[in-house]
Structure formats: structure tokens, C-alpha cells
Homo-oligomer: A and B are copies of this chain.
Amino acid sequence: VENRDASRIEALLGTLHPADIADLLEQISPLERSELLALWHGGIDGDVLSEIDESIREEVIEALPDNVVAEAVRELDTDDVVDILEDLDQEGQEKILSALENADRVAVEQALAYPEHSAGRLMQRETVTVPEFWSVGETSEYLRRADWLPDQFYHVILVDPRMRPVGYTTLGRMLSSPVEVLMRDITEDSFRTVKATDEEADVAYYFNQYHLISCPVVDENGRLVGVITIDDAMNVLDEEHEEDMLRLARVGDDSSIQDGPIATARQRLPWLAINLVTASLSAMVISQFDATIAQVVILAALMPIVASTGGIAGTQSLAVSVRGLATRDLTSSNARRVVRRELFAGMVNGVVLAAILFLAGTFIIGDYHLGLVLASAMLVNQVVAALGGVLVPLTLNRFGLDPALASATFVTTLTDVMGFFAFLGLATVILI
């Protein structure tokens, strides 16, 4: 396609949805990307810029002429501009801020004054409000005359004279009501507000829990400063999920499929290096038993079975607990019951696996003492794994830390060390 034929590119890409253009830009190689952008920037509007993955957005903005960028950001709602600005360096930020009209620039700068990951960064400033005593007819008339309405809005917010939101009405409800009905008589039960300083993760939880479509944002005096819509909340939820999953797998949570090999290696190296240290712990435990291993060499072959099965049981228990904490299904009121359940489930699986190993040890290897050692070590390690998998994230959570972040390292170190220690320790006692 890229035979420098700008008009063919226009014909091919001009009809695509901004999200698809962004995906295309993400998936081609950096070289193809800069060639494409040099040839064609008619379709790179604000929507494409806000769809594009953060990891290559800076590159794209730099490749575009200033006037194209300026044109692109001017048509966006303030929350989308803030989203783009957050990830740029100083110079890029100024380039975009200077392209905005005065009123928009002030709004964006105010939003950037809120802490990162707060509701204030997420909200759009454009709100649709009417006094609470207006009727449906008055509101309809007002909306019909307004020419500054945001791209997407789903509710009309009712405010008191001091701009404090007191309720909201869905557009559907408004349209199906007689014109003389008062707006305050057809408000929705689901109405609730969030503070501009609230964490965006809490806001996303509210949207999910109460099926909100939009939610007014207030300042410390309860005055309306903006509104958050469900598409922003859905984004946050998506990012939180990704963060949990990548953190559990010990990958830096800002990693992306577009990163180059060096960035990828650098994100992963710290966790690999930490594992060298924790694995050395296991090695030290094992080396305490070198006399035992020298006498019964087959122990060296069998010991990873106990350790690795423990590691998997720990990962299972951990994933369920981290997910439960994220969805707030695991709380202080049922933590005790969940821990008891894990203990019991660990015992059940420990007994089943121990029985299999005892039979295998007795009949395949032909040494029921060895079977006994395998079985007992497996039982101990399954219980430790199940408990560790839930207690480690609960403890991290209690201290205000992200339960997904370091849990996997703690839990697998625990199950490795305990697996080797129980197996070799019991072997020393029973076999030697």
C-alpha cells in the first residue's frame, strides 16, 4: 500500500473508524508508521489521537505537523485532551496547550491540577444542568437553543442555586413525560455523586456496582465541577484488570504489545532478578540436605514434584483472592470464612494428591517409605500453598498495598522453600 500513493491511502483509510485507524497505526512497524504519517494526515483527527495506545502516541504526535495536531485537539472534549496530555513530556504538553482556545486551556490546566488517577482527571467539564424547579418543557426549550452541548450526554443534572447537584433525569424519561411535569419529579434513584479527588478505581467500581451511565463530580463544597461518563469508567476498569493480570504474572503494568525488545526486557528483569534471590533461598535449603541426597539420589529427581504442585495450588488460591479483592467480593466480613474454605480445600486436595503419590511411590518406585515421604510433604505443602495464596494478598491489602503486586513472589517462594524443606526433612528422618 505504501508506494507513496497518498490518494490511494486516503481512499482506503478515509472510511475507517478512528479506533480502527489507531489500531492500524499500532500494528505496523515504526518505519511504516512514520512513512504513512508523512504521506497522509488528513484522517488523523482528535478521535484517532485519543484512541491510539499511549506507548506510541508521543511518536505519532511528533511526526505530525503542528497545525494538524492543533486542529485535532481543538475538537475534543476536555477529558480526552487531559488523557492525551498526561502521557506527554513537557514540550509536547505545551505544544498542545498552546493550540487550545483560552477557555479550554484553563479547563484542561485545572483538570491537570487534580492528582493523577483521580476523578478530576477523568471527568469532562462540559455538563448539562438546569435549575431544579424547571419543567420538562422549559428544559427541552433550553436544550434546543444550546449549541455547546457535549458529544455524549445521557442525563440532565438538576442543580440548586449554588450549583450543587440534587438529582438527575435520563433523557429517555424526559422525552416520555408531558411538558408540564417538573424535572425534579422524574429524577432517577441511581443518582449519586463522586468527589473530584476520589480515586478513579473507586469511581469505576461505582459504575459497575450501580450500573451508572454517567455520574456528576463535585468539589469539596459539593458544587458541580464535571461529569464522568461510562466510557471513561469502562476504560479504567479495563486498565485495572490489565494491571492485576500483568502484576500477578510479574510484568510491569505499563507494558504493551507495542513495546520494543529493550523496553520489554527492562520491565521484566527486576522480577527475574528477585527470583534469582528467592531461588537461592531454596538452593540453600536444599544444600542443607546434601548428605541425604548423596545417599538417596532419587530424592533430587522427586523433590520438584512437591514444590511445583504446591506452586500451582498457591497460584490458584492467589488468583481467586486477588480477583475477589478487586471486585470487592472478598471483604473483612467474609475473609475469615474464605480463609477457612481455602484451608479445608487445601486439605482435601492435599489428601487426594498425597494418596496418588503414596501409591505411585509404593508401586512404581517400589519403596513405601519413599511413598510416605512424598505423600506427607505434598499434604503439608498443599495446605501451606492454599493458606499462603489467600493470607498474603489479604495482608498486603490490609497495609494498603496492591495485593496483586508482590504476592506471586511471596507465595511461590513460600511453596518452593516449604516443598523442598518438608520433602527433604521428612526423607532425612524416615529414610536415613
Contacts and interface: CB of A to CB of B under 8 A. Distances in A.
A246 interface: yes
Residue among A146, A331, A348 with the highest chain B CB neighbour number at 10 A? A348
Interface residues of A, number: 118
Contacts of A162: none
Given A248-B249, A264-B341, A341-B260, A412 B175 contact: no
A7 interface: no
A106 interface: no
Contacts of A175: 140, 143-144, 171, 174-175
A200 interface: no
Interface in A256-276: 256-262, 264-265, 268-269, 271-273, 275-276
A125 B323 CA distance: 33
Copies in the complex: 2
A17 B27 CA distance: 44
Given A249-B318, A276-B357, A287-B301, A323 B242 contact: yes
A300 B290 contact: yes
26 contacts: A17-B209, A26-B329, A144-B176, A154-B171, A171-B171, A174-B175, A208-B234, A213-B213, A244-B245, A246-B323, A249-B316, A251-B316, A257-B324, A264-B342, A265-B346, A275-B309, A276-B305, A279-B308, A280-B305, A282-B305, A283-B304, A283-B305, A290-B297, A290-B298, A293-B297, A300-B303
Nearest to A153: B172
A248 B250 contact: no
B245 A248 contact: yes
A250 B356 contact: no
Contacts of A272: 309, 312-313, 349, 353, 382
A286 interface: yes
A136 to B, nearest CB: 9
Nearest to A179: B144
B337 A29 contact: yes
